[in-house]
Amino acid sequence: MYLILSPLSVLHSQVAQDSVATVALPTSSKTIEVSADIDTATMVIGQQKTLTITATNLNKGKATQQVTFPTLQSLTQGPIEALESVTDTVFAKDGTIERIEQKVTVTTFDEGRHPVAGIIVKVEGMGEAMLLSPADSLYVNACYASDADTTKCEVMADAGYEREKYTFWEIARWVVLALIVAIAVMALIWIVRLRKDNKPIPLLPKAKAVPADRRALNELETLRRKELWQKGRIKKYYTDMTDIVRRFLRNMYGINASEMTTRQTLRNFHNIEDWSDESETLLRQLLQKADMVKFAKSQPESHEHDLAMQNAIDFVRKVAETHKINHPEEGDQKTEKKN
């Protein structure tokens, strides 16, 4: 994929295999060529591809024309998500700049063939031009690991299955469950007997509802103390963490995030009254990291596990803080009831 930029207007033409924009210049002038390239081989959902955007012929006399590459925000369109960007300058033997490359790491969590769009390059003194539009042929193919063609899609080797020993808490919860069932049966028998004797059934005082943010923070602290990732249960650690955050969104705003993908969850969260750019960034980082672990078998560094937990805690606290600012009357009503 390439285009030629000039001070004149840019003429675009879309072809099945290439997208080219050219303008004729005097033979004594150099043209500036900008190209984009990405591996279109099939990838597993959650894997990463490198999009390379290159600008050459930037020297005009002794001066070098400045190039502004697209931002991560402009490249994040549709199912394609731009994660990070690195710019590198290559010098010629005479010390002048030969070319400038921008390498962008992109990924997707949706199955199918997705075009890479939003590639807008701006050159000093020549305005800006779109290198690719959604109709062009630069794209990535994504599939689930189970559907991947091993001749086209690189899938990580199976690490093998190892049966884990039952922990004390795993056994204890079944014991507690059995006790709860036994108590429930005894209570039912007692209530039936009272009804037969026409005796009133004593009512228990209604338990005070725990705020959604406090409940989520308590659950996150309990999860942290289990030390799952330290025991090698990384997937379980991220699954439980995101489940807690998704339940928080359901309890707080009625967003059924447990039945939604990461993209759907972020879209619904963006529309709530208590949305903020900081809280959305924390939520995106947490869910995307969890998707990489659960679907792409990613193995984060040790410090990234603690960072993910901190992101979850900060997200809950930030949303709760914004909610209190937007609804100060709720706190006043609670104070009046106590008085």
pLDDT for 46:
81
Instruction: Note the pLDDT tens digit of each residue in 273-288.
Output: 999 999 999 999 999 9
Q: Given pLDDT bands bounded at 50, 70 and 90, which one contains residue 158?
A: very low
Q: How far apart are the first and last CA of the chain?
A: 71
Greater pLDDT, 21 or 232: 232
Q: Given pLDDT bands bounded at 50, 70 and 90, which one contains residue 263?
A: very high
- pLDDT of 76 above 80: yes
Segment 43-67 shows an average pLDDT of 74
Question: Nearest to residue 83, comparing CAs of 117, 31, 47?
Answer: 47
- pLDDT of 331 above 60: no
Domain ranges for the chain, please list them.
2-147, 165-206, 208-326
Give me the percent of the chain exceeding a pLDDT of 70: 70
CATH number of 2-147: 2.60.120
What's the predicted TM-score (pTM) here?
0.42
